[in-house]
Copies of this chain bind each other. A is one copy, B any other.
Amino acid sequence: MPAAATPAPAEDRPRTKGEQTAERILDVAEERFAECGYAGTTLRDVAARVGLRIPSLYNHFPGKEALYVAVLERGLGPVLAVLSEYLDADAEAYRDSGRVVERVIELLARRPNLARLIQYETLSGGGRISPALRDWMARAFARAHEAVEATPAARRWGRERAPFLVLAMYHMVLGYFAMAPLYRELAGEDLLADEMLERQKRFVTDVVDTLFAEA
C-alpha cells in the first residue's frame, strides 16, 4: 500500500503494551499464514503461540480476515516502498534494474515469510487483498512493463515480451523463498542461510544482467 510506502520511522516501535501485543500477534500470524495459508491457519494456533486465549485476539483485530490483511499490509509495505521508488523514478533509473531486484531480495531475505505470503495470496487469486492494494499491484505491473520497455532489454526481447520478462523476474525472486522449506527436506540445504541468500542474490543479479544486456 502506498500509505506504508514511506520507510518506517524509528519511533514506529510500539509504545503501549497493547501495541506490543498486537505486534506479537502480527508476528506469529505472519509466520502461520506464511506456513499454512489463510484457510490452513487457525486462530487457536496463533493465540497459543502468542500465549493468549483466542478471544484476546479480538481485542486487537476485528477478526481472522482483518488480521490476515493487517499481516499482509504490514509486510508488503516496505517491498512496495522499494518498488514504488523504482517505478516512480525517471527512465534513467530503469537502467539499473538489477539493483532493484537486489534490494527486493535483501528485503525478502530479512522477512522470508513475506514471499510465501505473497505466493499463497497469488495462488488463491488475491481474493482477500484490499481494493487499494489490488489497484496498486495492477498499476505496478503496468509500470513494470513500461519500465522494462524503457530498458535496453526492450530492443532485445521486443516490447510485447516485457510482461513475460516481468513475470519471470517476479517468480525467480519469489519462488526461491517459497521453495525453502521443501528444499531443505529434499536436498538438505537451507536456502535461507546467509551464504545461500548471498549467492542467490548474485545469481539473480547476473541473470538480470544477462537478460537485460543488449544482444
Residues of A at the B interface (CB closer than 8 Å) are 35-40, 116, 119-126, 134, 137-138, 141-142, 157, 160-161, 163-165, 167-168, 170-172, 174-176, 178-179, 181-183, 185-187, 189, 199-200, 203-204, 206-207, 210-211
Contact = CB atoms under 8 A, between A and B. Distances in A.
29 contacts: A35-B125, A36-B124, A37-B39, A37-B40, A39-B40, A40-B40, A116-B123, A119-B178, A121-B182, A122-B182, A123-B123, A123-B178, A126-B182, A138-B186, A138-B187, A141-B186, A142-B187, A161-B199, A161-B203, A167-B176, A167-B183, A168-B203, A170-B175, A171-B171, A171-B172, A172-B175, A207-B211, A210-B211, A211-B211
Copy number in the complex reads 4
Nearest to A178: B123
Nearest to A215: B210
A186 B134 contact: yes
A182 to B, nearest CB: 5
Nearest to A169: B172
Contact of A167 (B123, B163, B167, B175): B175
A39 B36 CA distance: 8
A160 B125 CA distance: 36
Q: Which 6 A-B pairs have the closest CB atoms?
A: A171-B175, A39-B40, A39-B39, A164-B203, A138-B186, A125-B181
A36 B40 CA distance: 10
A175 B174 contact: yes
A183 B126 CA distance: 9
A121 to B, nearest CB: 8
B182 A167 contact: no
Contact of A123 (B37, B161, B203, B206): B37
